[in-house]
A and B are shown apart, each in its own frame.
Chain A
Amino acid sequence: MKFALRVNGKLQSIDVAPDTPLLYVLRNDLQLDGPKFGCGLGQCGACTVILQGQAIRSCSVRVDAVGRKEITTLEGLGTRGQLHAVQEAFLREQAAQCGYCINGMIMTAKAFLDKNSNPTDEAIRQALAGNLCRCGTHIEILRAVQRAAQKGRPA
């Protein structure tokens, strides 16, 4: 079945079964490798993308449920030459070990900070509570989100 998706500001047409999880379309059809497969169950957050301002688990959303809503992946936030402020903060804090979970951390943090520009440490922890990291990079990630929040705060 043919679908037209708005991904990172571009209209993309694809031809897949309607129940295909969005993650496989992003990775395999559009070759957007930012979102990762972690559990396929919406439990770990590695596949997170932003759908019209909401951080969602792309492994658990059918492609036919997306419609024309704007999808943003890690690639759509910024590029290596011009990182988004949240990516820049993760780089500055060296907030990645294996980095497999980092897509989900950055995308979840971005959607969270867009709604809450002055969060407490506790609020950041709660916002990331559904994102798993096994290398134990939590402290660097928390610092990165705090750094991004401070940068985005109105002076």
Chain B
Amino acid sequence: MNYSRREFVKQGASGLIVGLTLRNSALQVFAVQESMTRGALPSPRSVPPEELDSWVAISAEGKVTVYTGRVDLGTGVQTSFAQVVADELDVPFEAITMVMGDTALTTDGGKTTASSNSNRGQQPLVRAAAEARRVLLAQAATRLNVPSDRLIVQDGIVSVQGEPSKKISYAEIIGNKRFNTRLKASNPADNRGTALEGTAPLKKGNFKSVGKSIPRVDVPGKVAGTWPYVHNVRIPGMVHGRVIFPSAPGATLMSVDEDSVRRVPGLIQVVRKGNFLGVVAEREEQAIQAARQLRVTWSGGISLPQDKYDWLRHAKRIRTDDTSRGDVVAGIGRAVKIVKATYKTPLQNHGMIGPSCAVADVRGGTATFWSGSQWIQGNRRDLAGMLGLPLDKVRGVWVEASGSYGRLACDDAAPQAALLSQAVGRPVRVQWMRQDEQAWAPMSPPSVIDIQAGLDADGKVAAFVFEGWSPSHSLAESGNSLAWRLVGGNPGYTRLSGGPGGYSYEFENDRTITHYVEELLRAVYMRGPGSYQTCFAIETFMDELATEANADPIEFRLRHLKDPNAIAVIQAVAKKTGWQPRPSFTRSAANRSGIATGRGACYATSGRKGAVIANVEVNMGTGKVRVTKAVIAVTCGRIINPEGMRHQLQGGLIQGMSRSLMEEIKYDQSRVTDSDWRSYPILRFPEIPEIETILIDQPNTDPDGVGETASIPTAAAIGNAIFDATGVRLREIPFTPERVKSGLRR
């Protein structure tokens, strides 16, 4: 079947959608439904980013459809994208519908990671909208027979200034027709549109939608239970698969006793390919039963070190980066005091509430998969590679999953579903069980960081030496899905990211050494990869230095900062909390029972510009830490949706608190032993503090994302507050009651 994108747009934009009178999110819902009923369709190798028609389409009714390969992980970007495009195009917000992450319909938007939707993800949409407006105005000028500089646009209606009766709508100009306009790409190698250039200037002010807290388009469906999640995808003829995970990473599948499941009702097939093993059954509970009952023998597996931090120092090094400023030796030489410390951050799990889930339909040399992937194009490429299918025979359709925070940069369920579907010749849905997600998801890798600094006679840092060890945070990405690894022949992946290092203090003499080491367990970035770990180390160390210099911790930080944004966020939180300057833990006669209170500050030195002050209560008997209040200030350029931003910050803070107070993946000699929410607890309602957010708008600066900004500085803010309350310095995450108590005993 020759499938044309315009055909879809026409269908989508005409009667079907309007007739359903759904709200903004309708087209996304429709796109997903369309993919489910039409199944495997040829998907172009790529949707060309230099074509304006790849980004925007206007229907005869004036509805505007905007296409992006970026996806909304529950952060609200489909709303904020629509706000930005509405303003750039001069149409009402309600006219916009977003189609996201469908390889048949959208450009390769790149990964939805690193809080980059609001900058790199949004740029091409803004550019395309401005170009579309320019083309529409040029055509309006011809049709109305006036020079285009006499035209004004309001709500998609172009009219002649001073002659309001002379007007024409966008729909009349282009409704259901192509723009046929090429955009200029300043970098032809860029296939994501981030290097698009245009002749139309971008708006710098007079926004109608931008800056307003427009309610999110997805929330009505989410509270009503009608929102499409990948977990709800149903294809005609679909059956259910479950995967049998190895006894340990690296284990070899020795034997499978198919007789052990012969009596499971509804069983369709036991599927084995290399070390990949799964079952397919008519019903979901039957597949679960078969997976539990199947007798399997595995052999071997990796061996895991008892002390991961010691292991990091001695593990095989992939690459070492070493950068310096000034003269560290001379700086140490004139120091009056030398301070050294080591900081440890554990393996952590992204903790998706809904475990991995995907549906795949692999038949007749084509494949379609439905996935919550953060990178549908990348996952499509890998899935095609694993199945040995040409790229244009594989279509990936993004459908929202449970919040993933980096974990679904590599969707493991889709390639598993694809292998099972290929074997049984029917569409297969795979959903992981909770223990699978806890033990087999790629995780945030551990790091160990040593810092040494010299303080001069003025209480300033004379030299600063940072050395950190970590596996890359990208190793579970391309080619490294669990299924492809188990089948064998996967190309592996060598991109290095998230190594410790990077900060914005302006020390005169400093040196940063980053060691990327081999994989411990499969890892993928998690909200602030590398920055969360680095910020914890540096911002705890800065507090230690302030104590050594007998200085107020905020004043001490400001001694070493020049960036006005950094100073602004720190001063904003200090002012909001009524911070009284004093060195930390001045109550040397603190009693050793009851509840001790303290305050801690942290500047997001290795993230975007943010600062946090946390207040804690520490139970001196049990060691339990309760965060009572957290205040955060951030700058992120022009604010598109203030409430949306506030919610992102609150969410990031709470997730960061949870990681810092309680989260550490546990393992034995060869495998992760966490299996549920008891063995890997996360923060619950009774422990949620009061949170205040301070949003510093910068209307003249391009927008940036904040998804990571609040998570990064939470650990050190809490740790520093614990020190202020008790005099106990915690240098290892998480800050469990046992660690606090052991500090108190010392």
Chain A residues proximal to chain B, CB less than 8 Å = 16-17, 20-21, 24, 27-28, 31-34, 36-41, 43-44, 46, 73-75, 78-80, 83, 87, 90-91, 94-103, 106, 122, 124-126, 128-142
A-side contacts of B691, CB under 8 Å? 139
**16 pairs, A vs B, C-beta closer than 8 Å:** A20-B285, A34-B225, A40-B433, A46-B354, A80-B221, A95-B219, A97-B651, A98-B404, A99-B218, A99-B222, A103-B225, A106-B223, A132-B684, A133-B353, A134-B350, A142-B688
Quick check: is B502 within 8 A (CB to CB) of the other chain?
no
Q: Would you list which residues of chain B between 350 and 401 have a CB under 8 Å from chain A?
A: 350-355, 400-401
Give the docked Cα–Cα distance between A9 and B283 (Å): 26
Q: How far is the CA of A125 from the CA of B685 in the complex (A)?
A: 5
Contact of A135 with B676 in the complex, beta carbons under 8 Å: no
Closest to A101 in B: B353
Most central of A36, A97, A142 by chain B CB within 10 Å:
A97
How many Å lie between the Cα of A63 and that of B403 in the bound state?
29
- Kindly list chain A residues whose C-beta atoms are within 8 Å of the C-beta of B355: 37-38
List the A side residues contacting B682 at CB < 8 Å. 132, 134
Q: Among A38, A100, A142, which residue has the most Cβ atoms of chain B within 10 A?
A: A100
A129 to B681, alpha carbons, bound, how many Å? Answer: 12
A91 is contacted by which of B223, B434, B651 (Cβ under 8 Å)?
B223
On whether the beta carbons of A83 and B222 are closer than 8 Å, the reply is no
Cβ-neighbour of A43 out of B220, B655, B676 (below 8 A): B676
Given A16, A38, A133, which contacts B283 in the complex, CB threshold below 8 Å? A16
Q: Check B353 against A134 for contact (C-beta < 8 Å).
A: yes
Instruction: Please pick, from A28, A43, A133, the residue contacting B678 in the complex, using a CB distance under 8 A.
Output: A43
Q: Does B654 belong to the interface (CB within 8 Å)?
A: yes
Out of B231, B676, B684, B686, which one reaches A36, CB within 8 Å? B231
Q: A136–B74 contact, CB under 8 A?
A: no
A39 to B352, CA, bound (A): 10
Chain B nearest Cβ from A12, distance in angstroms: 16
Q: Is B579 in the interface zone, CB < 8 Å from A?
A: no
Task: Find out whether the CB atom of A83 lies under 8 angstroms from the CB atom of B651.
Answer: no
Chain B residues positioned under 8 Å from A78 (CB to CB): 224
Interface residue? B215 (CB, 8 A) = yes
**A73, A90, A100, A136: which contacts B229 (Cβ < 8 A)?**
A100
Set of chain A residues within 8 Å of B218, measured between Cβ atoms: 96, 99
Number of A-B contacts defined by CB within 8 Å: 174
Question: Nearest Cβ in chain A — how far from B396, in angstroms?
Answer: 20
Q: Are A134 and B655 in contact (CB under 8 A)?
A: yes
Q: Which A-chain residue is minimally distant from B438 (CB atoms)?
A: A39
Cross-chain contact A132 with B677 (CB below 8 angstroms): yes
The answer to whether A38 touches B403 (Cβ under 8 A) is no
Instruction: State how many angstroms separate the Cβ of B742 from the closest Cβ of chain A.
Output: 28
Q: Is B226 positioned at the interface, with any CB of A under 8 Å from its CB?
A: yes
Is B673 positioned at the interface, with any CB of A under 8 Å from its CB? no
A36 lies within 8 A of B229 (CB) = yes
- Is B33 located at the chain interface by the 8 A CB criterion? no
CB < 8 Å neighbour of A83 from B74, B223, B232: B223
Is the pair B651, A137 in contact by a Cβ cutoff of 8 Å?
yes
Which residue, B224, B351, B433, B651, has most C-beta atoms of chain A within 10 A? B224
State in angstroms the CA–CA spacing of A140 and B654 once bound together: 12
B643 CB–A CB distance under 8 Å: yes
CA distance A124 to B685 in the complex (A): 9
Query: Closest approach, in angstroms, between the C-beta of B571 and any C-beta of chain A?
Result: 25
B697 at the interface (CB under 8 A from A): no
Interface centre among B73, B652, B677 (most CB of A within 10 A): B677
The distance in angstroms between the C-alpha atoms of A91 and B217, with both chains bound, is: 10
Q: Would you call the interface of chain A mostly helix, strand, loop, or mixed?
A: loop
Nearest chain B CB to A49 CB, angstrom units: 11
Q: Which residues of B contact A95 (CB under 8 A)?
A: 219, 223
Bound CA span A16–B285, Å: 10
Q: Give the distance in Å from the alpha carbon of A106 to the alpha carbon of B224 in the complex.
A: 10
Q: Is the CB of A87 within 8 A of B685?
A: no
B284 contacts the other chain (CB 8 A): yes
Complex contact A43–B677 (CB within 8 A): yes
Q: Are A140 and B647 in contact (CB under 8 A)?
A: yes
Most chain B Cβ neighbours within 10 Å, of A38, A73, A79 = A38
Decide if B73 touches A138 in the complex (CB within 8 Å).
no
B639 to chain A, nearest CB (A): 16
A56: min CB distance to chain B, Å: 17
Measured CB to CB, the nearest residue on chain B to A122 is B686
List residues of chain B with CB under 8 Å of any chain A CB. Answer: 73-76, 215-216, 218-227, 229, 231-232, 234, 265, 283-285, 350-355, 400-405, 431, 433-434, 643-644, 647-648, 650-655, 658, 676-678, 682, 684-686, 688, 691
Could you tell me the distance between the alpha carbons of A122 and B231 in the complex, rounded to whole angstroms?
33
Q: Of the candidates B225, B400, B658, which one forms a contact with A98 in the assembled complex, judged by CB atoms under 8 Å apart?
A: B400
Besides the contacts A33-B232, A37-B354, A98-B74, what 7 more A-B pairs have beta carbons closer than 8 Å?
A40-B434, A90-B219, A95-B219, A96-B216, A98-B73, A125-B688, A139-B654
Judging by beta carbons under 8 Å apart, are B403 and A100 in contact? Answer: yes
A137 touches B352 (CB 8 A): no
A50 to chain B, nearest CB (A): 13
Distance of A125 Cα from B690 Cα, bound (Å) = 13
In the docked arrangement, what's the CA distance between A65 and B353, Å?
26
In the docked arrangement, what's the CA distance between A41 and B679, Å?
Answer: 13
Complex CA–CA separation, A129 to B224 (angstroms): 22
Establish whether residues B403 and A135, one from each chain, have CB atoms under 8 Å apart when the complex forms: yes
User: Cβ of B219: which chain A residues have Cβ within 8 Å of it?
Assistant: 90-91, 94-96, 99
Q: How far is the CB of A119 from chain B (nearest CB, A)?
A: 13
CA–CA, A81 to B355, complex, Å? 30
A-B CB proximity, top 3 nearest = A98-B74, A34-B225, A136-B654
Is B685 touching A138 in the complex (CB atoms < 8 A)?
Answer: yes
Residues in chain A near residue B405, CB distance under 8 A: 134
Rounded to whole angstroms, the CA-CA distance of A134 and B437 in the bound complex is 14
Residues on A with C-beta less than 8 A from B353 are 36, 38, 44, 46, 98, 100-101, 132-134
Name the residue in B220, B285, B404 with the highest tally of chain A Cβ atoms < 10 Å from its Cβ.
B285
Q: CA–CA, A131 to B688, complex, Å? A: 13
CA distance A31 to B233 in the complex (A): 10
Q: Closest Cβ of chain B: how far from A120's Cβ, in Å?
A: 12
Are the CB atoms of B685 and A129 closer together than 8 Å? yes
In the complex, what distance in Å separates the CA atom of A33 from the CA atom of B32? 15
Residues of chain B within 8 A of A91, CB atoms compared: 215, 219-220, 223
Chain A residues lying within 8 Å of B685, measured Cβ to Cβ, are 124-126, 128-129, 131, 138, 141-142
Are A24 and B223 closer than 8 Å at their CB atoms? no
Contacts of B431 in A (CB 8 A): 37
Q: Is the CB of B402 within 8 A of A98?
A: yes
Given contacts A39-B676, A138-B688, contact A75 B403 (CB under 8 A): no
B644 surroundings in chain A (CB, below 8 A)? 94
Inter-chain CA distance A135–B219, complex, in Å, is 14
Contacts of B224 in A (CB 8 A): 74-75, 78-80, 83, 87
Contacts of B283 in A (CB 8 A): 16, 20, 24, 28
Is the pair B403, A126 in contact by a Cβ cutoff of 8 Å? no
Given contacts A38-B434, A132-B682, contact A139 B677 (CB under 8 A): no
Q: Of all chain A residues, which has the CB nearest B653?
A: A136
| List of A residues within 8 angstroms of B220 by Cβ | 80, 91
Q: Nearest CB to that of A128 among chain B residues?
A: B685
For residue B221, which residues in chain A have a CB less than 8 angstroms away from its CB?
80
Give the most central of B222, B401, B403, B686: most A CB within 10 Å: B222
B655 and A135 contact, CB distance less than 8 A: yes
B223 to chain A, nearest CB (A): 4
CB distance from B237 to the nearest CB of A (A): 14
Give the distance in Å from the alpha carbon of A28 to the alpha carbon of B115 in the complex.
35
Distance of A153 Cα from B232 Cα, bound (Å)? 36
Docked complex Cα distance between A43 and B224 (Å): 23
Cα of A36 to Cα of B265 in the assembled complex, Å: 24
